[in-house]
Amino acid sequence: MTDYPVMFNIHKPEKFDRVQLALRLLILVILSLVEWVLAIIYLAIAGVAAIFISTKGGERFLNEDGPRMKRWLHWLLAIFSYVALLTDRFPTEKPEGSVTYEITTGGEPTVGSALLRLIFSIPSAFVLALLGIIGAIIWFIAAVMVLIKEDYPEGLYNFNLGVMRWEARLLAYHSSLVDTYPPFSLDTGQEGAGAAPAVPSPEPASASGGTE
């Protein structure tokens, strides 16, 4: 068993604020109206990485632009975690106050490998979408329970935490910050308990010969 080079953790709030549900619903309505924006963001992540790599090379990209991209992803995941009922306050200051997201960058990214991740990420994204359907059902149950008693069961929370952790790993790979393909494993609970095996990247040798 090898630890994946991405750590994502959230500690469950002791109690959820009922009023925050209204803000989450508003955000969900907005997102449903601008789904194309999320698709553009998804495509742009790989594209931005490819642009940075083409101007600086893989090593400088990881050292100079990696921290900036990690920060963008951290904000994105903090917002998603709030909407998913994993945190209870919208992240208005530092995302570190909501979620822990650490990436150990590595590999030798090229323009070709960055663009190919638009394709290679599809299998993982497809499974993630299926898990998201279950997560949506859990979200509805959790929202009802929060309205009743301001809390919901640990098991339901951990499932959606596992879904968000999968997304955190996929985004790091999709951004060319790590070279190891994200594991097809729903790791629930706190990070470090039964880490999933790392799956070698499916990128062909020709992908590493892109423009530096």
Give the C-alpha separation, 187 to 108, whole Å.
27
State the DSSP string of 19-73: THHHHHHHHHHHHHHTHHHHHHHHHHHHHHHHHHHHHH-HHHIIIIIHHHHHHHH
Give the residue with greater pLDDT, 195 vs 41: 41
CA distances from 122 to 111, 116, 174, 200 (A): 18, 10, 10, 16
Strand partners, 100: 9
Identify whether 176 is part of a domain. yes
Give the C-alpha separation, 84 to 36, whole Å.
20
Residue 15 exposed, middle or buried by CB count within 10 Å (0-12, 13-18, 19+): exposed
Considering only 102-111, 167-176, 180-189, which range has the smallest mean pLDDT?
180-189
Identify whether 206 is part of a domain. no
pLDDT at 162 over 70: yes
Give the residue with greater pLDDT, 89 vs 195: 89
Give the C-alpha separation, 108 to 183, whole Å.
20
Identify whether 197 is part of a domain. no
Q: Strand runs (DSSP E) across the chain, as ranges?
A: 6-9, 100-103
Task: Give 192's pLDDT tier (boundaries 50, 70, 90).
Answer: low
Task: Among 19-33, 153-167, 175-189, name the most confident range.
Answer: 153-167
Give the residue with greater pLDDT, 130 vs 39: 130
- φ, ψ for residue 103 (rounded to 5)? -125, 125
Tell me the residue range of the domain where 109 lies. 6-184
Identify whether 202 is part of a domain. no
Identify whether 102 is part of a domain. yes
What total of structural domains would you count in the chain? Answer: 1
Asked if 173 contacts 180 with a C-beta cutoff of 8 angstroms, the reply is yes
Give the residue with greater pLDDT, 176 vs 2: 176
Identify whether 200 is part of a domain. no
Give the C-alpha separation, 106 to 180, whole Å.
9
Identify whether 210 is part of a domain. no
pLDDT of residue 8: 95
Identify whether 109 is part of a domain. yes
Residue 125 exposed, middle or buried by CB count within 10 Å (0-12, 13-18, 19+): middle
